[in-house]
Chains A and B, each alone.
Chain A
Amino acid sequence: MDFGSINPVVLIATLMVAATPILLAAIGELVVEKAGVLNLGVEGMMIVGAVSGFAASVTTGSPYLGMLAAIVAGALVALIFAVLTQILMANQVASGLALTLFGLGFSALLGQSYVGIVPPRTEKLNFGFLSDLPVVGRILFGHDILVYVSLAVVAGTWWWLNNTRGGRVLRAVGENHDSAHALGYKVKRVRILAILFGGGCAGLGGAYLSLVRVPQWTEGMTAGAGWIALALVVFASWRPWRVLLGAYLFGGIMVLQLNLQAAGFRIPVEYLAMSPYLITILVLVVMSSNRARTSLSAPGSLGRSFHAAG
């Protein structure tokens, strides 16, 4: 019952793994929202990614092909959303919710023959002697490829949004789509590409659950991870590095409370278990006032449909 029975190195390594699915989904959604689109279908895209990635890796025997399939599947589901909201001008909130419902049902259908199968194992990357180093070996060099991919995506997104022409165009579209349009930027094309990117990331996050984290296919296995990812974007006030921080914080709270319990600590479990959701609600409440929205730097055109009026 001493604190020493929890190994902080193992704890950090575990929280990185626990946070990876929501991190991937959240960074994808961040790009989508930076482009001014609110896609509430993250959960649906994640679970379709989870089942597609699972099915593909079981069929081909390669977890990496599975991950690739998950990206494609997530993007395809996102494409439905893109067509609905960007071309048919449907309401984004309703379309996003519908996408989640669709994804959950569709994945259950796809996954019927994959229940109870063990997927091919995703090996941890081998860094040679680096992986055997004390402390840093396990934290920095002891993971599977997707943990590093997720970090690279965060870094890449940050760099791309801030330092490239494409990133600035995307932000301009998200801040004020009328001005961006007037300047000659293709608002719809940018948004559709952003939505596809978000779908790919969410799909990959879902595949991480079914291939590495759990690893198996079960109906409804994302169990709300997509909603946490959505909240994370707001929590991070649309900044990539804060998404990373938030994801590790949420993942950390979850892993820490489970480990504290397992080690026999008396902790108020119920409060810790609900804390990610409480924080989410709080952030959303703050968000609902316009002034706070500006101070949190929400993209100006977030959630508004764009109709090129001449």
Chain B
Amino acid sequence: MKRRELLATSAAALGLAATAGSRALAQSPLKVGFIYIGPPGDFGWTYAHDQGRLAAQEHFGSAVETFYVDNVPEGPDAERIMTQMALSGADMIFATSFGYGPSLNAAAQRFPQIAFEHAAGYLQEAPNVSLYNARFYEGRAVIGTIAGRMTQSNVIGYIASFPIPEVVMGINAAYIHAKKVNPDVDFRVVWVYSWFDPAQEAAAAEALIEQGADIIMQHTDSTAPLSVCQQRGALAFGQASDMTQFAPDVHLTAILDNWGPYYIERIQQKLDGAWAAENVWLGIPEGEVAFAPFNERIPAEVQAEANAMIEAIRTRSYHPFTGPLNKQDGSAWLAEGEVADDGTLLGMNFYVEGLTGEIPS
């Protein structure tokens, strides 16, 4: 049982609007609902989305009213929440987890006047469904490089959530770039089958350290692995937001999700009546993927190398998935100089050559 909490950020504004009803009926604020998979206090994925929501709220002031429902499970429950939001007058709904796809499309067909925005999804079955995502693999390529340079044991632990393309893509990107700078590197992947389960994530980090990993990467949302790493002295990377405070000694950097600019742009379009369904995938060049300050433990030359890669990705002169690359079974994937197309990346269900283990089906 998860908590469900409907939180109107500006109940006071509502009250004001009611008393000043004569002033402007037409000026009632645009209502924008957000659906979160976890709690905004996770300091990870949901926290980053909530920071984006708050940025948008601050930007628009009383012209927009944002609210959210957190801890919404992926599945039929999500559609119920969306319906509830729609019936309570939402003009726009941002659903921020991969698994909301079917529910969101079903709801969108029933409420064609509402703008639906789905993060990290792929289903677009109605004209009012827009997709947006960030190219986190660009960030993973950079931290993969840092990890490859800094590991002493040559074993890197990777805490993965669910075997979906987004996660597989991240593992591949990190591995390719760790391997490039350190041919002896070995990745150990642990699937925890949850986006947010601090105890499980902590146990996974311990198991990986027990197996010799001296650097832990995570694609789950809690800060628990960092606490374990801080205690055990393993190096780690934050997820989605700067998690330095949880592991000041071992937090090397974090891939930051910066959703604010996108939310502001899309809400503005809706206000202007110019909103249209899109399918966008932004990354380092647009500032949607960024980095927390580098820990001083990272040697200067490694920092320089990482910064050079960030710059190359920013200017689009380098794509993290550039051939020659083979699939895990040895078959050719990308030829020399060939760059992976977005379709392949978004459906990625294979490891690249060199990774051991299997992707659970």
Please tell me if the beta carbons of B199 and A218 are within 8 angstroms of each other in the complex: no
Please tell me if the beta carbons of A14 and B206 are within 8 angstroms of each other in the complex: yes
C-alpha spacing A214/B2, complex, angstroms:
20
Contacts of A255 in B (CB 8 A): 203, 207
Q: Looking at the complex, which one of A7, A21, A264 makes contact with B356 (CB distance below 8 Å)?
A: A264
C-alpha spacing A111/B42, complex, angstroms:
12
Contacts of B357 in A (CB 8 A): 261, 264, 266
**A268 in the interface (beta carbon within 8 A):** yes
Q: Looking at the complex, which one of B43, B71, B190, B245 makes contact with A220 (CB distance below 8 Å)?
A: B71
**A298 in the interface (beta carbon within 8 A):** no
Contacts of A10 in B (CB 8 A): 210
Please tell me if the beta carbons of A220 and B227 are within 8 angstroms of each other in the complex: no
**A95 in the interface (beta carbon within 8 A):** no
Contacts of B224 in A (CB 8 A): 214, 216, 218, 221
Q: Looking at the complex, which one of B4, B188, B196 makes contact with A262 (CB distance below 8 Å)?
A: B188
- Tally of chain A residues near chain B (CB < 8 A): 47
- Tally of chain B residues near chain A (CB < 8 A): 46
Contacts of B320 in A (CB 8 A): none
Please tell me if the beta carbons of A220 and B39 are within 8 angstroms of each other in the complex: yes
**B360 in the interface (beta carbon within 8 A):** yes
Contacts of A116 in B (CB 8 A): 43, 223, 245-246
**With A108-B39, A254-B200, A262-B208 as contacts: A216 and B189 at CB distance below 8 Å:** no
Classify the secondary structure of A's interface with B. helix
Contacts of A21 in B (CB 8 A): 199
Q: Looking at the complex, which one of B4, B157, B223 makes contact with A216 (CB distance below 8 Å)?
A: B223
Please tell me if the beta carbons of A262 and B200 are within 8 angstroms of each other in the complex: no
**With A218-B41, A261-B189, A261-B191 as contacts: A223 and B1 at CB distance below 8 Å:** no
Please tell me if the beta carbons of A258 and B190 are within 8 angstroms of each other in the complex: yes
Q: Which residue of chain B is the closest to A41 with respect to CB atoms?
A: B1
Distance of A300 from chain B, by nearest CB (Å): 27
**B64 in the interface (beta carbon within 8 A):** no
Q: Which residue of chain A is the closest to B194 with respect to CB atoms?
A: A223
C-alpha spacing A224/B3, complex, angstroms:
11
Q: Which residue of chain A is the closest to B361 with respect to CB atoms?
A: A270
C-alpha spacing A100/B41, complex, angstroms:
18
Distance of A249 from chain B, by nearest CB (Å): 15
C-alpha spacing A144/B303, complex, angstroms:
40
**With A215-B227, A254-B200, A262-B211 as contacts: A269 and B193 at CB distance below 8 Å:** yes
Please tell me if the beta carbons of B204 and A219 are within 8 angstroms of each other in the complex: no
Q: Interface code A1-28, partner B: CB below 8 Å = 1, 0 otherwise?
A: 1000111001000100010010000000
* A interface list, Cβ under 8 A from B: 1, 5-7, 10, 14, 18, 21, 43, 97, 100-101, 104-105, 108, 111-112, 115-116, 118, 209, 213-216, 218-221, 223-225, 227, 254-255, 258-259, 261-264, 266, 268-270, 273-274
